[in-house]
Structure 1
């Protein structure tokens, strides 16, 4: 395995996914009191990132699975999930924290995957030329390193969400922050991409 490619892969992943740690922390905080939420969040993160990799690899080797004009509309996914989370937070605003957080709720794997994929739409544009020039062998190294780093990112997100000071802040404000972050991400993707003529 070429250590130069491994180092480049680590740098590329870190630069293109730095915002995911905040989102993962919010998801982990939202699911803190829910059974099985860690498993669902990690599964969702992997599903979303594998979808990003699949589209990027296919595009790098000539198959356009997702036209460039469709990428800005991926912003509709986090926007819709953010609006849903905001509605649920507003609907349950008078419940005690214990009532809101008990039971088997928290983020679903498909929701985490959708946000990961939508937030990674710009990653696809960065990965395609890198994969195209790296060839099949280099691309496989990038993919392996990226998939290992997804686990590191999940660990870091969970670690941030469970630090006492951060955990207190997220448990108090997480139900407000998550919708705000998701809606902001959705709007940024739509506006930056020029969706709907924005």
Structure 2
């Protein structure tokens, strides 16, 4: 009878131990499920971060393309400005050359007129009248040419001045857009670095080992 009681006590102790083992197994199973749930959440966060990183890369590529386009437009505008300035200098040189030729012809005509007047005192009045008429015609043509040159110079200066002003304004706006694009690219790069840091800190293996 004593042996039976001891056996029953030992069986009861084994049962209690088995219950404790089963309870511990249940706790481990619950903990495993919680870990798996955390791993799924981490994977979802990682996938979302990868998607955001892809979007940021696309945005960065677009910003780089726009920035390169603005740089090219700015370079083209500067080249146009330089070309217009060169054209203005050529026009000024042509104007100076025309004025020089007119001045030379005028001096030659005045010299010829003075010499002719000295010799024509004894010449026929008809020839003198023709020469004086030609002189008057040449003077009128000279005045007309001077007026055309002045009008061309004023028109060219006004037109080129307006074009140069517009190009300068456009270049200023392009410089502002370029600076803005550069700043936005830096912000995108910072966001990408932060996402990479976040991804590296949420590694599933590290979560499971903890």
TM-score range, shorter chain: under 0.3
Instruction: State the structure with more CA Rg.
Output: 2
TM-score (norm 2): 0.25
Question: Normalized against structure 1, the TM-score is what?
Answer: 0.26
